[in-house]
Amino acid sequence: MDALDILTDLDNVFPYFQAIFSADEHRIIGYEVFGRYRSGLDVISIGYFFEDQQIPEEYRLLVDNTVLKKALDQALSLDKDILLFINRNATVLLNDEDESFLNILHVYEKLGIDLNRYVLEISGGLNLGEVDRLDNLLNYYRTYGIKIAMDKIGDESGQLDRIGQLAPEIIKVDLKALRSTETSRSFQDVLFTLSMLARKIGATLLFENIEMVHQLQFAWRNGGRYYQGYYLQKPTEQFLDRSILKERLKTEIHEFIIYEKKKLSSLMDMRNALQLKIQNVLVKNKKLDSYDDWLTVLSKEFQEMAFRLYVCDGEGFQKSANFFKHNQNWILQKEYINKNWSWRPFFLENIIYMLKEQKGILSDLYSDIETGEQIRTFSYLLNEHDFLFVDISHDYLYDHLKF
């Protein structure tokens, strides 16, 4: 609909609220505020209005503030610990010279809504200079206890480079990408990076656009504390009973826990079987003169399971050739001898673990640098100086893990 219709009929602009649930309480901990317009019997989303750069910023700010005031009028009835997630376009916020946003919050502070209950969601693209200005503005808001959330992570992955600078308290991850099998793998790689960054800056992950149970499970498995989406609750004009999904979420997360325990148990069984298999090969082939000879024997034992075998010392220098399986045949890649892999994440940490615990390690699932395939690596302590690495294909893992 035309922007002018909205601007000239603010009485019919009003808020909708979408519930946000927590993993630790299994109940509603907050609401995100959305703008709606009533046209006759129809209720129309006006999200597009706030991001349309063709509409002057002062008009977008006017409608933003109209929705906010009406939302806070209703929020006066909420429990005192419920968070309110308020959306703001970054450019519009930077040009709010009269601080109308903050002034509105101060008015309702006197009526009983503490400023530390607000989560300000930032969206919209910015140039480098504006990011610096926004950083200063957000730090100013933080002095009042207002929390900051970065929005649209997942469908605008270019925002990743701004997270470190703005250091939001909450990072919203959009799960729309999981609908496509083509994008889900790369999305999971981005998410891994994002979750590591979130841990370092002390941010909480909020997964939005959850529309199916497997997305909820994905969010739970990947460290999401907060959840939002149509699978849980659609946006509504009224607030809900905080415990509306408590029993359902408890049941579903219980199923996730059972599944995860089975997976971890199966992975541990595989690790133990791999360790025993390698030990048996070592015992039977003590007289072999070189690691290349020994890996030739081992490759036959791992014909079905592995696609790469090699040995490194405790500082990451490769002491053998790569034994690499190509078209079901093993080839020697001698050019890898003396290459150093200590720069890889967790390499040295795993070396120390194996030395201390005298146990092998089966890695998390990750993308192989050279093949791009999803794999796991089994690392095994050969002696106090050298370590075997066995790269296992995802296809084998998928077929043989019992979960």
**Are residues 157 and 38 both part of a single domain?**
yes
Inside any domain, residue 251: no
- Mean pLDDT score, 241-248: 97
Inside any domain, residue 372: yes
Inside any domain, residue 184: yes
The last residue of one of the domains, among 171, 206, 237, is 237
For position 159, what pLDDT does the model report?
63
**Are residues 109 and 168 both part of a single domain?**
yes
**Are residues 227 and 314 both part of a single domain?**
no
For position 180, what pLDDT does the model report?
58
Higher pLDDT, 389 or 290: 389
**Are residues 22 and 87 both part of a single domain?**
yes
Closest CA to 333 of 292, 371, 299, 294: 292
In terms of pTM, does the model score above 0.85?
yes
For position 163, what pLDDT does the model report?
82
pLDDT higher than threshold 90 for residue 351: yes
Show Cβ contacts of residue 305 under 8 Å, excluding neighbours closer than 6 positions. Answer: 390, 392, 393, 396, 400
Inside any domain, residue 7: yes
**Are residues 288 and 204 both part of a single domain?**
no
Residue 395's pLDDT band, with cuts at 50, 70 and 90, is: confident
Residue 316: other Cβ atoms inside 10 A: 16
**Are residues 227 and 267 both part of a single domain?**
no
For position 157, what pLDDT does the model report?
46
Q: What is the domain-level CATH number for residue 339?
A: 3.30.450.20
pLDDT in tens, 154-179: 544 456 677 877 889 999 999 886 66
For position 311, what pLDDT does the model report?
96
For position 361, what pLDDT does the model report?
95
Q: Which domain holds residue 164?
A: 3-237
pLDDT higher than threshold 90 for residue 199: no
Inside any domain, residue 254: no
**Are residues 221 and 264 both part of a single domain?**
no
Domain tally for the chain?
2
Cα dist from 191 to 151, 184, 185, 341, whole Å: 14, 10, 10, 24
CA-based end-to-end distance of the chain? 50
**Are residues 270 and 395 both part of a single domain?**
yes
Mean pLDDT (the chain, rounded): 90
For position 195, what pLDDT does the model report?
83
**Are residues 205 and 159 both part of a single domain?**
yes
- Mean pLDDT score, 289-299: 90
Residues in the chain, how many? Answer: 403
Contact by Cβ (8 Å): 225, 253? no
**Are residues 212 and 293 both part of a single domain?**
no
Q: What is the domain-level CATH number for residue 148?
A: 3.20.20.450
φ and ψ at 229, to 5 degrees?
155, 170
Task: Give SS3 for 30.
Answer: strand
**Are residues 232 and 265 both part of a single domain?**
no
Inside any domain, residue 148: yes
Spatial separation of the C-alpha atoms in residues 45 and 47, rounded to whole Å? 6
**Are residues 233 and 263 both part of a single domain?**
no
- Mean pLDDT score, 287-299: 88
The last residue of one of the domains, among 183, 206, 237, is 237
The last residue of one of the domains, among 237, 272, 299, is 237
* Sole residue written with tokens 């991001």: 51
Inside any domain, residue 215: yes
Residue 126's pLDDT band, with cuts at 50, 70 and 90, is: low
Inside any domain, residue 13: yes
